[in-house]
Amino acid sequence: MQINPAVNQAINKQIGMEFGAYLQYLTISTHFDVEGLSELAAFFKAQAEDERDHAERFINHVVAFNGKLEIPTIDAPASNVKTVEEAAQLSLDWEMKVTEEINGLLKLAGEQGDHITENFLSWFLDEQLEELSTMNKLLKVAKRAGANELAVDEFMARHRGQQSNNTNADG
Ligand SMILES: [Fe+2]
Ligand SMILES: [Fe+2]
C-alpha cells in the first residue's frame, strides 16, 4: 500500500514547517541563553526538540506508508526577536498557523479517503492544543512582567517540573 501522492506532498511541506519551527525555537533559545535567561533558553530549547520530533514523526509516516521524502527549502528563522513578549507572540502566531496546516492536512487526507493518515494526524491535534495553550500562557505572563524579564525566567523555573512532566507524558 502506498500513500496518496497529494497527501505525500502536503506532508513533505509540513516536514519543512516542522524543521522551520525547530530552527526558530533554537534561535530564540540561543538569544535567551546569551542574555542569561537560562530558564527561558531551556524552555525554547525543549520546544525546538519537540519540533524536530514532529518532523521525525512525519518522516516515519512517509517511510511506513511507502512514500517519498522531499524536504522543501526551509525559510531562515527570524533572528530579531528580543523580548520575551515578542518571542511568545511569534511562537503563538506560528502555532496557530501550524494548527491551520494540520487541519488542512486532515481535510485533504479525508477527501482522499486516507484514513490511516487521518488517524496518524490525531496525535498532532492534541499536541497543537497543548502548544497553543503553553504559548498563550507564556504571552500572558510576559505581558504582566513587562520589562522585568527576570520575573518570567523565575516563573518558568517554578513551573519547570510541571512542564517536564508534560513532556514526559508526550514521549
Ligand atoms: Fe510542530
Ligand atoms: Fe509546535
Q: What is the pLDDT along the chain (171 residues), one digit of tens a residue?
A: 899 999 999 999 999 999 999 999 999 999 999 999 999 999 999 999 999 999 999 999 999 999 999 999 999 999 999 999 999 999 999 999 999 999 999 999 999 999 999 999 999 999 999 999 999 999 999 999 999 999 999 999 998 866 555 555 444
Residue at 74 is within a domain: yes
Cα 95 to ligand 2 centre (Å): 5
**Residue 149 located in a structural domain:** yes
Q: Is residue 61 part of a domain?
A: yes
155 domain residue, yes or no:
yes
Q: Give 101 Cα–ligand 2 centroid separation in angstroms.
A: 11
- Ligand number with the minimum distance to the CA of 53: 1
Residue 168 forms part of a structural domain:
no
Distance from residue 4's CA to the centre of ligand 2 (Å): 25
Count of domains forming the chain: 1
- Please compute Rg for the chain using Cα positions: 17
Q: Is residue 57 situated within a structural domain? A: yes
- Whether residue 166 lies inside any domain: the answer is no
Q: Which domain holds residue 152?
A: 5-161
DSSP alpha helices (H): ranges in the chain?
Answer: 5-34, 38-64, 84-111, 115-145, 149-158, 160-170
Q: Give 5 Cα–ligand 1 centroid separation in angstroms.
A: 22
pTM above 0.95, yes or no: no
Question: Helix (H, G, I), strand (E, B), or coil: what is residue 73?
Answer: coil
Q: Output the domain CATH number for residue 90.
A: 1.20.1260.10
Q: What is the pLDDT of residue 66?
A: 95
